[in-house]
Amino acid sequence: MNSWDELYLNIKNYGYKNQVLISGKPENEIEVCVSREGKILFSDGIHRFTIAKILGLKKVPVIVNIWHEEFYRKASQKISGNKITPKLLAKTLIKDNS
């Protein structure tokens, strides 16, 4: 059995685990970027992403590597009055992509 088969069976049997919480390192996590329009763009972690899609998982943890400056400015206006954090930015992103 190769490593991708093992990864598939592990995710299927135990669910998708956040790699940062397991090892303290972001290695091997799905990575995305956010476009100026607020679209999620795939960056890295194709095997985990593909396995999650095959298994029909609705949610998986990802690391957002890059937020386009224009999206950041627009999202910041929606968050006005609050300290801008990645978590608040992600909430605007999720609402916009729903």
Q: Give the pLDDT confidence of 22-45 residue by residue, as tens digits.
A: 888 888 899 999 999 999 999 999
DSSP 40: E
What is the model's pLDDT at position 12? Answer: 95
Show Cβ contacts of residue 75 under 8 Å, excluding neighbours closer than 6 positions: 38, 84, 89, 92, 93
Q: Does residue 19 carry a pLDDT above 80?
A: yes
Q: Does residue 82 carry a pLDDT above 70?
A: no
Higher pLDDT pick, 78 / 47: 47
Higher pLDDT pick, 86 / 97: 86
DSSP 18: -
Cβ atoms within 10 Å, residue 66: 13
Residues 64/32, Cβ–Cβ less than 8 Å:
yes
End-to-end CA gap in the chain: 38
Residues 56/50, Cβ–Cβ less than 8 Å:
no
Q: Return the CA Rg of the chain.
A: 15
